[in-house]
Amino acid sequence: MLLINFTPKTLNTNNKMRKILLFSIVLMLGLAACSESDVSVTGVRLDNNTLELTVGETGNLNATVLPENATNRNVVWNSSNTTVATVNAQGVVNAVSAGNAVITVRTVDGGRETTATVTVNAAIIRVASVAITRTPSPLSLTVGEVEPSLSVLILPLHADNRNITWSSGNTDVITVNPNTGEITAVGVGTTTIIVTTECGGHTDSFPVEVAKPANMTDAGVVINGIRWATRNVDAPGTFAPYPHSAGRLYQWGTLDSQTHHWPSTGAFVTGWNNSDNRIAWTTANDPCPEGWRVPTRAELEQLHSVIGNWTTRNGVNGRYFGTAPNQIFLPAADFRDHTGMLFLFAGTGGNYWSSTQSAVAFAWRLNFGGGGGSITDISRSHGNSIRCVAE
């Protein structure tokens, strides 16, 4: 029979082995517990689910992996149509050609995914320049003459948006239809016609000279079938130099006139004839230039029916009548009362004679201000402006 003698030394060795074994077990359990603490991905989202680009452009898609404390936050990007749009590992989308593509982002952990639809538009060809191509320079017109739109060259020739607008450098010399570019010469002087592109705001200009017609002092503008002068009467038989010029103030039925300006001393005119008993305007005493006459009440009523905006031209207040380009400007040139006193309202109201009498001492006039206008009668001794009509 074999006897084993357990000495204290043997017992100590066994105890050490047990402790090592126990430590190994605890360590393995701890590692297992650490692995079980990883946070799994539950989803992914994009900051935009649609993206619109033009060929050649790039756009960014930003992905957020959920939950935000997920352990493995890696994602993979993919395009459904790389001929339309490509995407790199950072979610940068490159527009290749016109069309549609779906960009998918997928999480490495769990295979969670979401998508964004990308629309790629064809490249826009923008305007680089515009030039008025008319020759020779300048464009020479006479007052009242109408010129069709000037030709322009827009580059590149295949630019997508070729819309343009036209404008005048001085509306006292020419007016311009903003859409068609048609030019109407309204006053003597020099200015420019300007073209502006809608795409890019590129501009070009062309010089215009407007002279006085050889056979007429004012070509006029036709409004409701009546040809109106574009300027007030100045000295008898002449027009004022510009549409905004006030001209002179006339007593009814006479060639007696005064400028609209205040006298150097006082507001009265020495020797003003305050008599209301006046003969009608005839060819002999009509202050309008040859070929023109003072309008009737009916003609003033026609003009009043198309009263336009209160505005300012070259620093002068007044009103437009008619619709551009068949439009005239009447300055608010004040008036003198039966005593010859200037009412100090220059710039606030306009008063324009008709040739039609009303009561014994009165005649009809067009009166207007900032608030509107009307046809009223007033003492024939007043001094009012005159805007002529063609005979």
Q: What is the predicted pLDDT for the residue at 184?
A: 87
Residue 76 reports pLDDT greater than 90:
yes
Token pair belonging to 243: 């549409």
Most distant CA atoms of the chain, gap in Å: 170
Comparing 1 with 100, which gets the higher pLDDT? 100
Contact 63, 49 (CB under 8 A): no
Residue 219 reports pLDDT greater than 60:
yes
Torsion over CA of 331, 334, 337 and 340, rounded to 10 degrees? -100
What is the per-residue pLDDT across 343-387, written as a single tens digit (0 to 9) for each? 656 678 999 999 999 987 899 999 999 899 999 999 998 989 999
pLDDT class of 169 with cuts at 50, 70, 90: very high
Q: What is the predicted pLDDT for the residue at 344?
A: 58
Q: Return d(Cα 97, Cα 53) in angstroms, integer.
A: 10
What is the per-residue pLDDT across 304-338, written as a single tens digit (0 to 9) for each? 999 999 998 888 899 999 998 899 999 998 888 88
Residue 21 reports pLDDT greater than 80:
no
Whose tokens are 């574009």? That residue is 230
Contact 156, 138 (CB under 8 A): no
Q: Return d(Cα 137, Cα 152) in angstroms, integer.
A: 14
Q: What is the predicted pLDDT for the residue at 176?
A: 95
Q: What is the predicted pLDDT for the residue at 373?
A: 95
What is the per-residue pLDDT across 105-131, written as a single tens digit (0 to 9) for each? 999 999 999 999 999 999 889 999 999
pLDDT class of 24 with cuts at 50, 70, 90: low
Mean pLDDT of 58-66: 97
Q: What CA–CA distances, in Å, run from 344 to 235, 266, 335?
A: 21, 11, 8
Q: Return d(Cα 288, Cα 352) in angstroms, integer.
A: 13
Q: What is the predicted pLDDT for the residue at 11?
A: 45
Mean pLDDT of 80-92: 97
Domains of the chain: 43-121 (2.60.40.1080), 129-211 (2.60.40.60), 221-390 (no CATH)
Min mean pLDDT across 73-87, 129-143, 252-266, 311-325 is at 252-266
Average pLDDT of every residue of the chain: 86
Contact 174, 189 (CB under 8 A): no
